[in-house]
Amino acid sequence: MSALNSNISLNDIVSLLSAKGERQKKLHKSADTITLNSFKGKVWLRGIIEYSNICFKNCYYCGIRKDNNKLKRYRLNGNETVEKAVYAWKSGLGSVLLQSGEERSNLFIESVNNIIKEIKKRTNGELAIVLSMGEQSTKTYKKWFNSGAHRYLLRIESSNKELYEKLHPNDNLHNFNNRLKAVESLKKVGFITGTGIMTGLPGQSKEDIAKDILFIKEREILMSGNGPYIVHKETPLFNSYTNIPDANERVNLTLNMIALLRILMPNINIAATTALDALDKKGRLKALKAGANVIMPNITPTKQKKSYSIYSNKPGINNSLSDNIKNVEEIVKESGKIIAYNEWGDPLQ
Ligand code: SAH
Ligand code: SF4
């Protein structure tokens, strides 16, 4: 494994994505050594607040897509959202991630803007705000950036245009090139920008994932969140569920992808994503030992949490917020790392 360095070839990446047993252990160990060297054993916490499950898009894989009418829709009110962020700050979380379905109405844009400003005010500017609210105009990105949010996550889902188009309706709202442009626009506005993909999608090859990894490197992306695709019954992709790798393999693909990203990009932020735990109780723990340096306790109010059902079997939906934080603290402890409380947790540049 000593041959692994940032010049690793596409073929090697494809091959290592399938690593199992001893070979996988070595891959993860190499990544962990690099992570320890970069982050000195520190792990950053981000509290996730799932602000709204209202979405005007219809991605074929997602449980909160517009056409799923079996779902109770909600949008948190501003005060409640700010209170949860203040709670995160008081709990020493250092940053919050506001995530939601996609809307582009003025009401939505202004509500988010007011929340950003209020959080910054109430936490004396000490809490970092990360957004994941889909594709917006450059004007909206600028507005939110100027109000104090400074990191943004927008997954490209797949860097393969053909595959992307199979996973989304063929219309202007779900346009591959617009998605890529949005990532570039975020960077230009000044956001520390993150992207990522789902692993184990129907029709996705290992070569696709290898190219996703290289895409993230070539575009100089500073944060990456990747997770296994998880079937949701109320989606068009449900019918393809027999054509995907089994749960174990999807977890391994994600873990190996994390390790490869770390080897190629020693200083970026890589999240141990919650979807991993939906398929493997030790999923996030394994990710922290394979290159991830960020973990995200869910601090959405318990009442709404179950309605943010992007995928099935989401872990921790009935837990209290403090339980979710405790749970994450235990995972970090078990990984042998240390939580960096009260730090923003920007990637090392
Ligand atoms: N609406 C925004 C943010 C919320 S969705 C957006 O789409 O960018 C956040 C992420 O959830 C998506 O980027 C997608 O990668 C992931 N996701 C959606 N459906 C999923 C599923 N069935 N399994 C796993 N991840 C899913
Ligand atoms: Fe909406 Fe995001 Fe789900 Fe697509 S992935 S349907 S944009 S919430």
Instruction: Give me the number of domains the chain comprises.
Output: 1
**Measuring from atom 18 of ligand 1, which residue has the nearest CA?**
62
Q: pLDDT band at 297, cuts 50/70/90?
A: very high
Q: Does residue 182's CB lie within 6 angstroms of at least one atom of ligand 2?
A: no
Task: State mean pLDDT over 214-243.
Answer: 94
What is the dihedral sign for C-alpha 21, 32, 295, 265? negative
Q: Specify if 348 maps to a domain.
A: no
Distance CA 290, CA 32 (A): 5
Comparing 134 with 1, which gets the higher pLDDT? 134
Q: What is the DSSP letter of 45?
A: E
| Residue 141, in any domain of the structure | yes
How many angstroms separate the CA atoms of 156 and 164, rounded?
A: 8
Is the pLDDT at 98 greater than 70, yes or no?
Answer: yes
Give the pLDDT confidence of 127-144 residue by residue, as tens digits.
Answer: 999 999 999 999 999 999
Q: How far apart are CA 349 and CA 344, in angstroms?
A: 14
Q: Is 295 in the pocket of ligand 1 (CB under 6 A)?
A: no
Q: Is residue 268 part of a domain?
A: yes
**Are 152 and 140 a contacting pair, CB within 8 Å?**
no
Report which ligand 2 atom has the smallest distance to the Cα of 310. 3
- Residue 349 forms part of a structural domain: no
- 47-86 burial, b for 16+ CB within 10 Å, e for fewer? bbbbbbbbbebbbbbbbbbbebeebeebbbeeebbbbbbb
The ligand 2 atom at the shortest distance from the C-alpha of residue 101 is 8
- Residue 140: inside a domain, yes or no? yes
Whether 1 maps to a domain, the answer reads no
Residues 6+ apart with CB under 8 A from 22: none
In the structure encoding, which two tokens stand for residue 303, read together? 């009442």
Tokens standing for residue 132: 């994941």
Per the structure block, which two tokens stand in for 293? 């340096």
CA 265 – CA 5 distance, rounded (Å): 10
* β-pair partners for 198: 227
Whether 345 is in a domain gets the answer no
If one compares 4 and 39, the residue with the highest pLDDT of the two is 39
CB of 183 closer than 6 angstroms to any ligand 1 atom: no
Which pLDDT value is given to residue 316? 85
Q: Which atom of ligand 2 is nearest to the CA of 100?
A: 8
Q: Is 168 in the pocket of ligand 1 (CB under 6 A)?
A: no
Question: Which ligand 1 atom is at minimum distance from the Cα of 312?
Answer: 22
The CB density around residue 1, as the number of other CB atoms within 10 Å, is: 15
Give me the pLDDT at residue 3, please: 47
Residue 2: band (very low, low, confident or very high) from pLDDT cuts 50, 70, 90 = very low
Closest ligand 2 atom to residue 157 Cα is 5
Residue 90 structural domain: 10-339
Mean pLDDT for 53-60 is 98
Residue 291 has pLDDT above 60, yes or no: yes
Separation between Cα atoms, residue 78 and residue 83, nearest integer Å: 9
Q: Report whether pLDDT(240) > 90.
A: no
pLDDT band at 5 (very low <50, low <70, confident <90, very high): low
Cα of 10 from ligand 1 centre, angstroms: 26
**What spacing in Å lies between the alpha carbon of 180 and ligand 1's midpoint?**
16
Q: Write out pLDDT tens, residues 141-197.
A: 999 999 999 999 999 999 999 999 999 999 999 999 999 999 999 999 999 999 999
Pocket test for ligand 2, best of 50, 56, 64 (most atoms within 8 A of CB): 64
- What sign for the dihedral angle of Cα 138, 141, 146, 152? negative
7 pLDDT band, cuts 50/70/90, is confident
**Across the chain, what does the average pLDDT equal?**
96
Q: What is the pLDDT of residue 4?
A: 59
Q: Whose CA is nearest to atom 24 of ligand 1?
A: 229
Domain membership of residue 250 (yes or no) is yes
pLDDT at 341 over 60: yes
pLDDT exceeds 90 at position 95: yes
* Number of other residues whose CB lies within 10 A of the CB of residue 4: 18
User: Model confidence over 211-220: pLDDT tens digits?
Assistant: 999 999 999 9
Summarize the confidence of residues 265-287 as an average pLDDT.
97
Burial class for 166, CB neighbours closer than 10 Å (0-12, 13-18, 19+):
middle
pLDDT of the residue at 314:
87
Of the chain, the percentage scoring pLDDT greater than 90 comes to: 92
Task: Note the pLDDT of residue 1.
Answer: 46
Residue nearest to atom 2 of ligand 1 (CA): 134
Centroid of ligand 2 to alpha carbon of 41 (angstroms): 34
42-52 and 223-224 beta bridge pairing: unpaired
Tokens for 337? 């790392």
CATH (domain of 150)? 3.20.20.70
Q: What separation in Å is there between the alpha carbon of 55 and the centre of ligand 2?
A: 6
State if residue 154 touches ligand 1 by the CB under 6 angstroms criterion.
yes
Does 134 sit in the ligand 2 pocket, CB within 6 Å?
Answer: yes
pLDDT surpasses 70 at 279? yes
Q: How many CB atoms neighbour CB 102 within 10 A?
A: 18
Residue 6 has pLDDT above 70, yes or no: no
Find tokens 């730090």 and name the residue: 343
Distance of alpha carbon 47 from alpha carbon 128, whole angstroms: 10
Residue 179: CB within 6 Å of ligand 1?
no
Q: pLDDT category, 238, cuts 50, 70, 90?
A: very high
